[in-house]
Amino acid sequence: MRVCMIGTGYVSLVTGASLAGIGHHVICVDNNVAKVALMQSGKSPIFEPRWLSPT
């Protein structure tokens, strides 16, 4: 499935990352330049502890 997330807040970013993690093609779009730059550098603007542990 191809998915486009508008905004990269907590809900959309976690949803997009989760969908990408199970093999879907996800694009996230945001108008916050600082947040986009942070993600392009490989860092996340939010913390989700379940991303770090396999369940």
Segment 17-51, tens digit of pLDDT: 899 999 999 999 999 999 999 999 988 888 877 76
Spans of all domains in the chain = 2-51
Residue 46's identity, in one-letter code, is I
Enter the tokens of residue 23.
């093999």
Does pTM surpass 0.85? Answer: no
Residue 44's alpha-carbon distances to 11, 23, 27, in angstroms, are 13, 19, 15
CA angle 49, 50, 55 (to 5 degrees): 150
| DSSP string over the chain | -EEEEES-SHHHHHHHHHHHHTT-EEEEE-S-HHHHHHHHTT--SS--GGGTS--
